[in-house]
Structure 1
Amino acid sequence: MEEYVYIDGKKYRRGYTTGSCATGASKAAVYMLITKNRINTINIDTPKGIPLLLKVDNINISDTFVECSIKKDGGDDIDATHTMDIYARAEIVAKNDKNKGYLTLKDIDSLSTNSECKSELYKFIRVYGGTGIGVVTKKGLSVDVGKPAINPTPLKMINHEIRKLIGDNFESILGNDKVLKITIFAPQGETVAKKTFNPRLGIVGGISIIGTTGIVEPMSDDGWKKSLSIELQMKKEQGLDKIILVPGNHGEQFIREKLNLDIKYVVRVSNFIGYMIKEAQRIGYKKILMAGHIGKFIKVSAGIFNTHSKVADARSEILVANLALMGARYEFLNKINQCVTTEEAVELINNSEYREVYNILSK
């Protein structure tokens, strides 16, 4: 894929999602199952409007099924799933299959607006999660508990591309009382999933098949923020009406060891403090407690709600300004300004008459 974007004057290559991989592998497997012709590439459309030509690997054609894979390419936004092989297995099975752990478009809320549902093709396509694909165990996600972690957009994409192959004459192709069984699997999935948000989201046993556009945008925080927001939603679904927001390990450890509060209320927000406060408000939390390193939260006191250093790093300036308003001497302000870390500045403040600055900053 040779799609690029320019960010801050630098050129970055786009990639494609696990959802696009699963879609491409599914379409290729179905095509080879029906035609018995081997192919090396497959075309798919994406919700982003960018068409993809994907290389088909690991082809296995038998009399009763076809397996193949697409290699995940994150472009210049490399994540844990980059270079993974995402497989699909296509086979025609009896409609009365007793295994109910599959997804159809009927599992998606937006049925009435989906053209595939109007064609009723969705009744004949069942998508399963195989080895390395996680299973949802907690409420609050876009997939029901007990179902494979294959999100709505990839599910729609798979159905859309298969409909393009089969058209509306699916019964004549599949046969009476038959359905098309698609199994998505990823041999490395269980290992790779440990490096993702899945364990915190209650998705066990593997990765998720995700992607709302089919395309990975380099240097984008959108996917990360969405995962954090999902965790907030899940905890609300579990009956919590208050939440503790922490940037990372330091805040979580403080909550557990110093405040002795239940860790079930904790959600890590990384640098997206402002975004997560707004999300908590939108979702309906009544109380929010925030805890973390002063180096992060001193920025929030000055209205900097994305605390990444590339966005803003005004820690010394914020301390100096507030201390100056308290009437601190020039010599003391100069020492604070020369501190390399906030820990160093805190030590100076703790040994001074200006400890009230902490209360001022926290208001």
Structure 2
Amino acid sequence: MEWQPYRLVEGRKLRRGFTTGAAATAATKAALELLSRQFVSSKVDISLPTQQEYTVSIPIDSCFYNKDGSVTAFVIKDGGDDPDVTNGIKIGATVKYVSFLNHTDTTLDESNQAIHINGGTGIGIVTKQGLKVRVGEHAINPVPRQMIKNVAKTYAQRGKTINITIFVPEGEKIAHKTLNPALGIIGGISILGTTGIVEPMSEEAYKESLVPQLDMVQALGYDTVFLTPGRRGQLTLNSFGIPLEQTVQMSNFVGYMLKECQIRKFKKVILFGTQGKLIKLAGGIFHTHHRVADARIEILISEAALNEVPIDLLFQLRNEVTIEASVKLLQEHGYHVVLQKLCEKAAMKAADYIQNEIEIGVVFLDIDGKIVAKSNSVDQWW
């Protein structure tokens, strides 16, 4: 079945893209075509690892022989209308046939053929446990690795190993813009993708990319995890004495990450972030992007009214430009109790969200990274 390059999103026709895994697979196929059949392809068709049998045609940027008799091909990564930091980079594959006698790291498949897949320049190396790739190996995930192997089997020659090296010339340069440093993957990007497809304007891929952080925390033996919106929160936690390895970026996906913590049976979760983000939890909002819901000031004023803040001060709170200014105004008038109550409510709502299966703590920060309020449970654990 032919892959459909477009999808409708909110009435708009948007273009799908392909993953780094699909790009690496296409580059491998093009290089093997030239190596084994002396045929240079302008594009190649690869099968996608979806429930239905889809094929996608991927353009080849270049394909050429090297002095040692190997062949290299490049594909330009195309994220469609949902580009990320890897969009537009070159992903390369170098392939070569090697006699079994000259290769010491060979795994035979069921056809008594051998395929060896390795990472090269710009592919990160895994340094921490808990990921789908073992420590010390290049970060080429299992599904892309199987896609590459499936393509290579077609070109197998009895008595020879196919050596395949996947590399990304700009991988090390752009890796710091990804979650790889937080995951302990050093020196480059990862080759990823469970379907081969990048869906335009989809949050799913980003959400899924956050989850391996939880697996790493669990693999290190922690039963308490600190969830924070981003890297800044992790560094702030570290300044308070919490190991970076125990902290996880959750972005705006509080509810999603709480569910993933529930699946992994963590005992305790501390939600740690700015009041502007986490105050939404007190109103039962678990996707904190402003486009989804932005009732921060309404939640604040409601709690202030319940705590007998004078009406004139309530109007002042409403008229402030930012939530930070409103919080500061409350503090100046001695109503810190409002923030404390909101912290407690946020913790209670979060616990309710996952059926009270995990103990939840919440910490509010101001924009300078100072603690404004924290739920009572936090003092017991930290």
Q: Give the shorter-chain TM-score range.
A: 0.7 to 0.9
Cross-structure match for 1:6:
8
Cross-structure match for 1:83:
88
- Aligned counterpart in structure 2 of residue 92 of structure 1, from 85, 88, 97: 97
State the TM-score, normalizing by the size of structure 2: 0.82
Cross-structure match for 1:271:
252
Cross-structure match for 1:133:
123
> Which stretch of the first structure deviates more once superposed, 13-22 or 39-48?
39-48
Q: Could you tell me how far apart the structure 1 residues matched to 2:281 and 2:231 are?
A: 18
Distance 1:65 1:251, change over 3 A: closer
CA contact (8 A) 1:254 1:291 kept: no
Cross-structure match for 2:322:
341
Cross-structure match for 1:230:
212
Q: Does 1:152 align with 2:142?
A: yes
How many residue pairs get aligned? The number is 339
Cross-structure match for 2:203:
221
CA contact (8 A) 2:30 2:63 kept: no
Helix, strand or coil: the match of 1:6?
strand
Q: Could you tell me how far apart the structure 2 residues matched to 1:241 and 1:96 are?
A: 48
Cross-structure match for 2:339:
358
Q: Let me know the Cα RMSD of the aligned residues.
A: 2.2
Q: Could you tell me how far apart the structure 2 residues matched to 1:96 and 1:185 are?
A: 26
Cross-structure match for 1:109:
none
CA contact (8 A) 1:21 1:72 kept: yes
**Aligned positions of 1:197-212 closer than 5 A:** 197-212=179-194
Displacement of 1:145 after TM fit?
1.3
Cross-structure match for 2:373:
none
Helix, strand or coil: the match of 2:131?
coil
Residue deviations 1:51-108 (CA, integer Å, cap 9, x gap): 22122222112573211111100111111111111111111112255564x8x6x9xx
Displacement of 1:315 after TM fit?
0.4
What code does the residue aligned with 1:227 have? S
Displacement of 1:50 after TM fit?
4.0
Which protein has greater RCO, CA pairs closer than 8 Å, 6+ apart? 1
Q: Does 1:300 align with 2:305?
A: no
Cross-structure match for 2:299:
318
Distance 1:208 1:249, change over 3 A: closer
Displacement of 1:260 after TM fit?
3.7
Distance 1:261 1:125, change over 3 A: closer
CA contact (8 A) 1:2 1:13 kept: no
Helix, strand or coil: the match of 2:336?
coil
Cross-structure match for 1:280:
261
Q: Does 1:21 align with 2:23?
A: yes
Distance 1:8 1:334, change over 3 A: farther
Helix, strand or coil: the match of 1:311?
coil
Distance 1:175 1:260, change over 3 A: closer
Q: Could you tell me how far apart the structure 1 residues matched to 2:204 and 2:111 are?
A: 32
What code does the residue aligned with 1:349 have? L
Q: Could you tell me how far apart the structure 1 residues matched to 2:97 and 2:165 are?
A: 11
Cross-structure match for 2:174:
192
Identity of aligned residues (%): 41
Distance 1:356 1:17, change over 3 A: same
CA contact (8 A) 1:135 1:203 kept: yes
- Aligned counterpart in structure 2 of residue 291 of structure 1, from 268, 272, 278: 272
Cross-structure match for 2:42:
40
- Aligned counterpart in structure 2 of residue 181 of structure 1, from 155, 163, 174: 163
Helix, strand or coil: the match of 2:211?
helix
What residue ranges of structure 2 are gaps of 5+ in the alignment? Answer: 345-382
Cross-structure match for 1:112:
none
Displacement of 1:180 after TM fit?
1.0
> Which stretch of the first structure deviates more once superposed, 20-29 or 5-14?
5-14
Q: Could you tell me how far apart the structure 1 residues matched to 2:241 and 2:184 are?
A: 24
Displacement of 1:10 after TM fit?
2.8
Distance 1:77 1:241, change over 3 A: same
Displacement of 1:251 after TM fit?
3.0
Q: Could you tell me how far apart the structure 2 residues matched to 1:262 and 1:52 are?
A: 43
